[in-house]
Amino acid sequence: MPKLGVNIDHVATLREARKTYEPDPVEAARICEKAGCDSIVCHLREDRRHIKDADVAALRRMVKTRLNLEMSVSKDIVEIACKVGPEQATLVPERRQEVTTEGGLDVKKNLRTIASVVSRLKASNIDVSLFINPVKAQIDESVRAGAGIIELHTGEYANAKSESARRKELVVLKRAVEYALSRGVFEVNAGHGLNYENVKSVAMINGINELNIGHSIIARSIFCGLGTAIEEMLELIR
Ligand code: PXP
């Protein structure tokens, strides 16, 4: 059964809608852990649109499972990551105008930069994951970059417009997991756009280590509470 990482960015998005102190992402992380999640994920964006530096520091103090910091390869952010010391960093592409992370890293095009950030983070005892599209070339380059962990972008699967397109994307994901494990990647995670309707098929893919889910869980929590939203997601994954 895959683990569940909960991305709490959108708790901070709501807080920032009023530039106030509530809801508190740290309190959200406490509830997620109490409900049984396996890790807390947050993205310290270069524009600090939701999660702030102080949130990351407070999360570091409070998180008892694992803290997975999503981040770009920007120098300043890498410095912060090394100082804060999350258990894991997930490198993602970042564009200012995007609403959310829109695609995977182009590891092939940016191999030197990514490899050097991977080794810098690893030297600070941080496990590094690369968020990539489920294609062989990106898996090969991730291995070359020395990451050891990848997260497959499930956006194409989640956004498929028909059942047959969805099934096709599921096969793409399955093959990517198999290929990555055969290439010596030791953890294959997945995320983006997963929700209560589409998570089961991905959770059933052999070899998937962890699913990282944010928007759908935080959205549901408005109606049933965060603890219940986590428990319902865990039930589906199981
Ligand atoms: N994994 C990564 C690398 C992401 O960037 C995101 C979005 O922040 C997620 C998972 C979660 O995506 P969603 O909010 O669509 O569940």
Alpha-carbon span 15 to 163, nearest angstrom: 37
Residue 126 has pLDDT above 90, yes or no: yes
| Tally of CB atoms within 10 A around 144 | 13
Write the class of the CATH domain 3-237.
alpha beta
Q: What is the pLDDT of residue 21?
A: 97
Answer for the pair 101, 94: CB distance below 8 angstroms, yes or no.
yes
% of residues, the chain, pLDDT over 90: 96
| pLDDT band at residue 94 under the 50/70/90 scheme | confident
Q: What is the pLDDT of residue 208?
A: 98
Helix axes 25-34, 226-237, angle to 10 degrees: 50
Q: Where are the chain's structural domains? A: 3-237
Residue 1 has pLDDT above 70, yes or no: yes
Ligand 1 pocket, 151 CB below 6 A?
Answer: yes
| pLDDT band at residue 111 under the 50/70/90 scheme | very high
Ligand 1 pocket, 100 CB below 6 A?
Answer: yes
Among 5-14, 20-29, 102-111, 210-219, the range scoring the smallest mean pLDDT is 102-111
Write the residue with the smallest CA distance to atom 12 of ligand 1.
192
Indicate the pTM of the whole model: 0.96
Q: What is the pLDDT of residue 168?
A: 98
Q: What is the pLDDT of residue 96?
A: 66
| pLDDT band at residue 206 under the 50/70/90 scheme | very high
Ligand 1 pocket, 194 CB below 6 A?
Answer: yes
Closest ligand 1 atom to Cα of 101 = 5
Q: What is the pLDDT of residue 101?
A: 66
Average pLDDT, the chain: 96
Q: What is the pLDDT of residue 193?
A: 98
Q: What is the pLDDT of residue 103?
A: 84
Q: How far apart are the first and last CA of the chain?
A: 6
Each residue's pLDDT tens digit, 130-173: 999 999 999 999 999 999 999 999 999 999 999 999 999 999 99
Residue 38 has pLDDT above 70, yes or no: yes
Ligand 1 pocket, 131 CB below 6 A?
Answer: yes
Helix axes 9-18, 215-224, angle to 10 degrees: 70
Which amino acid, one-letter code, is at 181?
A: L
Spatial CA neighbour of 94 closest among 112, 73, 80, 114? 73
Closest ligand 1 atom to Cα of 5 = 10
